[in-house]
Chains A and B, each alone.
Chain A
């Protein structure tokens, strides 16, 4: 599969009256399905995806979309498949260069599982 174009960061708060200008940090690249997303080193996967305008992070087993709810690891709304491991809370998991992040359906499946849900 040919990778799609990089998703630009469209939702960054670059200037701020109290916090000042966004200080430059080392950038890392993660993959949201086939799209490259630039992330700030150390930030959670969630914030990199939201910064790049990703609207849906997963689907329930009935196909209902989810994004995020609590932002601090309490609710599991934001879980995705990360490097083949499903159910990872993206709001409390930091980005790593080259990380592969994919939307999951229901409880998702482990990499290598032959199409059957774990449940």
Chain B
């Protein structure tokens, strides 16, 4: 097979994109890794908690350590990493339009494009939500763990999924007080291990509770919360006021699919994985065969699954470009797939597994 010498372009240098680029480079394929940020790693460097999974998923290792290892590996391999480089356009013929340093604009023709653009935190509007002091949980997490700055002293966390409970705990580790974690659903959402830590720290965990409004003049001074009925409507007479200076929102993430849409990738609605996302097959190929989607853009999961998806796409792209034979591709992806399967077990994992299966089935039906 003739080898394609045009580069594979990986967009996004988080866990998924780094792994995709590493697999491509290992196979000897030309690859460019682009990221709009000044530093690679995506959101890995704010993950200071230990990851789950088995030994081979590096369970018990903190996200920051995994990030450092991936960076070292990509450096050792000599991957062409272009930082401060925002991909602002992508057409179905794989012309990539990049802007470097917000100054220099150029285009290039890619042989494959792997989109690892991640996800964006959701907002939830309520009276007072624009006040200084209301922010996403990820914003607070970046400040405390990456920049070592406390955004506030007394915090209300809205949302009890993994992001909510992990960031609540990390805020305590950074020296803040968490007044409460509230959850509109009847049950807490995060993994038991994370939830238990927050509870042990003495933080009230209030289910069937929502935020009604934020109060304050120049910034948050109080949060008014209330219990909700089965339809998430506030119950009259249950309002309570908490003295807090910060309200963190951990109410889910939505895949960042802009570039996939520009490239013409068909999307599908999967609420349990964050909303609309590009369809993909078992090798992470979208409906545009030369465009792969990996990590949170292909359904919001975790860094560990994102890394395996990145590997899967990287290996397959290298094969389709002629740098691996089919036997080698099968062998390498079999490992990845087995690890992915193992990461999607258990109560939470099984739900994600079923959702992923729906995406594959729809892809098969829509674009066989």
Q: Which residues of A contact B (CB under 8 A)?
A: 11-14, 16-19, 22, 43-44, 47, 50-51, 55-57, 64-74, 91-92, 94
Contact = CB atoms under 8 A, between A and B. Distances in A.
A16 B148 contact: yes
A51 B149 contact: yes
Interface in B107-139: 120-121, 123, 130-136, 138-139
Contacts of A67: 132-133, 135, 219
Contact of B147 (A43, A55, A74): A43
B144 interface: yes
A65 B133 CA distance: 10
Q: Which 6 A-B pairs have the closest CB atoms?
A: A71-B139, A67-B132, A47-B147, A13-B148, A71-B142, A51-B149
A44 B147 CA distance: 8
Contacts of B150: 11-13
Contact of A69 (B38, B136, B148, B173): B136
A interface majority secondary structure:
loop
Interface in B192-221: 218-219
A8 to B, nearest CB: 13
B interface majority secondary structure:
loop
27 contacts: A11-B149, A11-B151, A12-B148, A12-B149, A12-B150, A14-B148, A19-B145, A47-B149, A50-B149, A57-B132, A65-B219, A66-B130, A67-B132, A67-B133, A67-B219, A69-B123, A69-B136, A70-B121, A70-B136, A70-B139, A71-B135, A71-B136, A71-B138, A71-B140, A72-B139, A73-B36, A94-B38
A37 B342 CA distance: 49
B62 interface: yes
A68 B139 contact: yes
B48 interface: yes
B27 interface: no
Q: Which interface residue of A13, A44, A70, A73 has the most chain B CB atoms within 10 A?
A: A13
B75 interface: no
A15 to B, nearest CB: 8
Nearest to A49: B149
